[in-house]
Amino acid sequence: MAPTGATTAASQNDTRDMCNEGSYMTPWATVIAMFAVYVIALLWFCRHGKKVCLPPPDFIYPYKKRLRELKAALGHLLVDDIFVELSDQKLGEGAVGFVFRGFVFPRTQTRFKQKTCAAVKMSYPMPVKSIGLLEEAARMAKLDHPNIVKLIAVSKLSFSAFRPMFAMEWLAGGSLAEYFRDEIRSKEEHQRPVVKVAHVLSILIQVGKALRYMHESRDNNGNEFTHRDVAARNVLLTERNLATATAKLGDFGLPIDFGPRLPIPWLPPEVVNSLDRTCPKHVPESDVWMFGVLSWECATLGADPHYQRTIEDICDCFKWPDRGLARPSNCPDDYWCFVMDCLSEQHRRPKFSGPEDSGSCALKRMRDMFNRTKGTDQSFSVAENISNCTCSQHRCHRPLPRFAAR
């Protein structure tokens, strides 16, 4: 019988050999393991590496919850940034970003042959502006009407890098304000096309249809949709012929929430008078006031409302019979009566929603005016921007700074 100590030593040696043998990896096993790790890392980088290379986003902690909601609302329109292309042709800028001419490519092999011209909007590099632009895109995505500009695509960079960019349908005629500026006011009188009252009413009726659709729609909270920036610069045309053009309402920004670029000359008194005290609530009646200012713009063929007036001057004008917007020459009586009704007290303004056969329906009144003028030669004439003030407060002969709340 072997000694007990020898048996114990032998057992320990066997155990040590078994442990060493089990933990040993052959060189080939090491190579295979390292290669597998490399392949996994490569596949991950191919899938997620683009996000790693992107610049760090702005501080978005306060907006995380809202960003998730907006991403869900715009999920059906999200595309990779390679499918949205910007050109160097700047079309303009608004309260929350720039607008460029660009293209949207379909997801096909021949995508470069099937590109669609678009107006691409990109936000300023500030979190509050970025959220504002995404809010605008979410509002547009919920609306579907032939007289409202359609949203085509939203870049995924809007959420991955928090630099929102979305594409809207392209309208070759430009805005109504550009039409008045380029085709009317920048030309000699004998070169200007005749702008008939019926043609203007045709454009306004189409804008009114868009507002009717919006005011009868509801958001997720059951509140009425409002446009908040109804003006000639936001009425887009399919062509530069008012007699045959289709008008579409665009730019669904939130001007009330972005102070330094407030469209004060277009806003109603209930909004302007509350800017310095509280956050004003924009209601459908506010859109009706702005539509009245738009109608005045059309009757003057592109004049500036409240030209060279300060905010205090504009507030004083709210007490005047004509609200500070003088009646243009060659303006029909019923047309001017309609403008003044739009610029009346909030509860007396005509409505776009509701029964169309009602006397308070704005669309019915415009259609009646259109039927009375479509066979006539009634036309509008240019009203020049005139200011008799020479004081430095109004900055005569110099452009006004951006309007801001008091």
Least confident of 173-187, 259-273, 280-294, 364-378: 259-273
Q: Pick 230 or 396 by higher pLDDT.
A: 230
Q: Pick 324 or 93 by higher pLDDT.
A: 324
Q: Count of CB atoms within 10 A of residue 120's CB? A: 25
Domains annotated on the chain, with CATH: 61-169 (3.30.200.20), 174-394 (1.10.510.10)
In sequence order, the β-bridge partners of residue 93 are 98
Q: Pick 359 or 403 by higher pLDDT.
A: 359
Whether the per-residue pLDDT at 355 is higher than 80: the answer is yes
Angle, alpha carbons 10-11-14 (nearest 5°): 85
Note the pLDDT tens digit of each residue in 28-40. 878 788 888 888 8
Least confident of 136-150, 205-219, 316-330, 390-404: 390-404
Whether the per-residue pLDDT at 256 is higher than 50: the answer is no
Whether the per-residue pLDDT at 55 is higher than 70: the answer is no
> Of the spans 75-89, 271-285, 289-303, which averages the highest pLDDT?
289-303
- Give the strand order in the sheet containing 165-169: 78-79, 151-155, 165-169, 116-123, 97-104, 84-93
Note the pLDDT tens digit of each residue in 109-132. 555 567 889 999 998 888 888 888
Confidence of residue 60 (pLDDT cuts 50, 70, 90): low
Note the pLDDT tens digit of each residue in 6-21. 555 555 555 455 445 5
Cα–Cα dist 285/287, whole Å = 5
* Residue-level pLDDT at 8: 52
R_g of the chain computed on alpha carbons = 31
Whether the per-residue pLDDT at 75 is higher than 50: the answer is yes
Confidence of residue 398 (pLDDT cuts 50, 70, 90): very low
- Average pLDDT for the chain: 82
Q: List Cα–Cα distances, 24 to 16, 17, 27, in angstroms.
A: 12, 11, 10
* Residue-level pLDDT at 27: 79
Helix, strand, coil percentages for the chain (3-state, nearest 5): 45, 15, 40
Q: Pick 312 or 47 by higher pLDDT.
A: 312
CB 141 within 8 A of CB 164: no
Q: What are phi and psi of 86, to 5 degrees?
A: -100, 145
Q: List Cα–Cα distances, 390 to 28, 216, 312, 398, in angstroms.
A: 90, 46, 17, 11
What percent of the chain lies above the pLDDT cut of 90?
46
Q: What is the mean pLDDT of residues 346-365?
A: 90
What's the pTM?
Answer: 0.79
CB 247 within 8 A of CB 177: no
Confidence of residue 185 (pLDDT cuts 50, 70, 90): very high
Q: What is the mean pLDDT of residues 299-324?
A: 93
